[in-house]
Amino acid sequence: MTEPFMLDLHTYLERLGYSSAPPPTLDTLRELQARHTAEFPFETLASMLRVPVEVEPAAIQDKLLRQGRGGYCFELNRLYLLLLQALGFDARGLTGRVVMGGPEDALPARTHMLVLVTLGGVRYITDVGFGGMVPTGPLLLDNEAEQSTPHEPYRLTLVDGTYTLRALVAGSWRAMYVFDLQKVADIDYVVGNWYVCTHPDSPFRGQMIAARTGPDLRKTLNNGSFAIHRLGQASERVQLQSVDEVLKVLREEFGIRVPEHPERREIIERLIVGA
Secondary-structure breakdown of the chain: helix, strand, coil percentages, each rounded to the nearest 5: 30, 25, 45
Cα separation of the two ends of the chain: 46
- Torsion angle of C-alpha atoms 95, 100, 104, 105, degrees rounded to 10: -50
As a whole number of angstroms, the distance between CA 51 and CA 104 comes to 31
Q: State the sign of the Cα–Cα–Cα–Cα dihedral 61, 63, 64, 67.
A: positive
Residues known to be catalytic: 73, 112, 127
Closest CA to 55 of 204, 189, 202, 196: 189
